[in-house]
Amino acid sequence: MADDRDFYAILQVNRNATLDEIERAHERLSRTYDPETSSKPRAAQRHADVQEAFEVLSDRAKRREYDGDLRRGEREVAGAVLPSDVLSNRFVIAAALTLVASVIAVLAVVILVGGDGDENLVANPTTPAVTPTPAPTVPAHTPGVPPESPPEIAGEEITTESGLVYIDFEPGTGEVAQASDTVAVNYSGWLQETGELFDSSISRTAALRVVIGAGGVIAGWDEGLQGMTEGGSRRLIIPGDLAYGEAGNLNATPPIPPNATLIFDVELVDILIPAPPATPTPVPTPTLPAQTPGVPDENPPDVTGEEVTLESGLTYIDFQPGAGEVAQTGDTVAVNYTGWLQDTGAMFDSSISREAPLPVTIGFSSVIQGWHQGLPGLAEGGSRRLIIPGDLAYGEAGNPNATPPIPPGATLIFDIVLVDILTAAAPATETPTPAAESSP
């Protein structure tokens, strides 16, 4: 076995993955990176990495030895991207840039990230809800100077039913992006009315990472990125209702007025992670178990159990064993939970005081990313504590609608009880088609 590979990351599964999940991931990625059919420039190397990872993780003895090395801290994972690396790539400008450019970079995140409130504070996160995988490395580039106004382009102008207009002015030669793909893009944005530039990734050191259709960017992007080809460039003319709506964005420079139409030129640099397998075939929502409302703990109670930390930075502790089936990605489960701020211990949300637990489809529902990574492997009837770093929770935006408000970058603590697995994950198909994300 190689000593510098993160085999779980290569197969895009977590450490609790079953053999069946590993085999499905191997089959899917082998097709994606088949050197005979894939146009990706690194397909041959990625295909070889997938085969090496599968050889270890599909063999019970080899996987046990590999997991033991990980637990003892003897294996340093090559290419693992820590949360701090992701934040640096996306939000921090190279030291050589001026302080003003640094402020613009931070504002760019505020401009692009969307989200609405909901009675369940784990809903509508600032990080996309996708099948749990370590964050890929976003391609680096040399900072440049974006155009101050939209340049002249040529191409067919297409208007969608929503009112979005797009023009493909530079053809690509790679894979075609679809909903739920994780992609890296470069972009510049202007106000249509004045032609003024208000945001661009060109002046930064790396492209922007986006999960298409997950609600992490404005709606015009979620719609407009689909169908783009790797290496291609597209102009998006986004009406106000698909951008910042009635509120506008006063934090932009210059401020974006209410209902402003925006122009973006977007280059699809790379498809970092293909869309995950399809969601289960839609079925009627199962009936949630009723419960008598109770009183949640105001502060995190003391728990005992083995503390496990994943490569993403998520920490979990199983403090109450379950006796039922084990949850996996794609299962729809009913959970009770209570959430606290780690810094203060203050409670900000709980389902215990309600009349029913919360339904969640692991890997697909609009809950924070830390839940999607932390729920697989939990048995029915079991309880697990999740200690979720800020980049897997509400990120730099925080959640001002919580009571008390969740500060930017806050680490959260959740105690979760898996009440029931309502519906099991659907079996993988030969040609999976990802379902579009939706927010409640």
pLDDT of residue 77: 33
**N residues, the chain:** 440
Residues 139 and 173 both lie in one domain = yes
Q: Which residues contact 66 (CB under 8 A, 6 or more apart)?
A: 1, 7, 56, 57, 75
Residues 107 and 66 both lie in one domain = no
Residues 213 and 267 both lie in one domain = yes
| 127, pLDDT greater than 90 | no
CA distances from 313 to 133, 206, 372 (A): 12, 22, 13
Residues 164 and 15 both lie in one domain = no
Rg (C-alpha) for the chain, rounded Å, is 22
Residues 312 and 257 both lie in one domain = no
Q: pLDDT over 90 for what percent of the chain?
A: 51
Q: pLDDT digits over 162-207, tens only? A: 999 999 999 999 899 999 899 999 999 999 999 999 999 998 888 8
Residues 93 and 220 both lie in one domain = yes
Q: Which domain-ending residue is among 228, 253, 273?
A: 273
The CATH code of the domain that includes 365 is 3.10.50.40
The CATH code of the domain that includes 49 is 1.10.287.110
First to last CA, the chain: 45
Give the CA-trace dihedral at 34, 38, 41, 42, to 10 degrees.
-20
Residues 316 and 381 both lie in one domain = yes
Q: pLDDT digits over 4-38, tens only? A: 467 877 877 777 788 888 898 888 888 888 888 87
Q: Which domain holds residue 32?
A: 7-71
Residues 320 and 257 both lie in one domain = no
Q: Does a structural domain hold residue 288? A: no
Buried b / exposed e over 182-194, threshold 16 CB at 10 Å, is: bbbbbbbbbbeee
Residues 248 and 329 both lie in one domain = no
Give the distance between the most distant pair of CA atoms in the chain. Answer: 64
Residues 355 and 237 both lie in one domain = no
Q: Does a structural domain hold residue 207? A: yes
Q: Which residues contact 275 (CB under 8 A, 6 or more apart)?
A: 178, 179, 180, 181, 434
Q: Does a structural domain hold residue 430? A: no
Which secondary structure element, helix H or strand E, spans residue 348, and what is its range?
strand 347-350
Q: How many domains does the chain contain in total?
A: 3
Q: pLDDT digits over 396-431, tens only? A: 999 998 899 999 999 999 999 999 999 888 765 443
User: What is d(CA 357, CA 381) in angstroms, rounded to the nearest whole number?
Assistant: 13
- Which residues are identified as catalytic? 187, 198-199, 218, 244, 264
Q: Does a structural domain hold residue 206? A: yes
